[in-house]
Amino acid sequence: MDDLKAIFAAIQPLLRKYQPPLAPKNDTERYFDLWSFKDLEIEGRRRKEIFFAGLIIQKSYVGFYFMPVYAEPEVKLLFPPELLRLLKGKSCFHIKTMTPELLSQLEGVLQTGFDLYRQRGWV
């Protein structure tokens, strides 16, 4: 469990970099997420918020949820192969170990996603 807490603690500052303009709904020792709180219209539906990214400590991994892949599936093509191997499903990465390279890759992915949200006017 300590290793998972260390992974969570390593990734969380990368997300906090976008706070503000993004803000958390959940900010605990085991769960952290970021949202854009803004009146939006996405695919004809009005919304008051949109999820950006989140971290949660699970039983055997830290889940890193990254929603920009739903907005622009081609974003996945920009992910390094090492990071893609951790992708389970469409937007959840299962992180069991942390390396400086992986941390750097996550930092780049977050910046790409934030830039996409900004371009779309979601931030």
pLDDT per position as a tens digit, 39-79: 877 777 888 888 899 999 999 999 999 988 877 777 777 78
Mean pLDDT of the region 68-94: 81
Write the secondary structure of the chain as one string of H (helix), E (strand) and C (coil): CHHHHHHHHHHHHHHHCCCCCCECCCECCCEEEEEEEEEEEECCEEEEEEEEEEEEECCCCEEEEECHHHHCHHHHHHCCHHHHCCEECCCEEEECCCCHHHHHHHHHHHHHHHHHHHHCCCC
Q: Architecture of 2-119 per CATH?
A: Alpha-Beta Complex (3.90)
Domain boundaries, the chain: 2-119
The more confident residue out of 28 and 87 is: 28
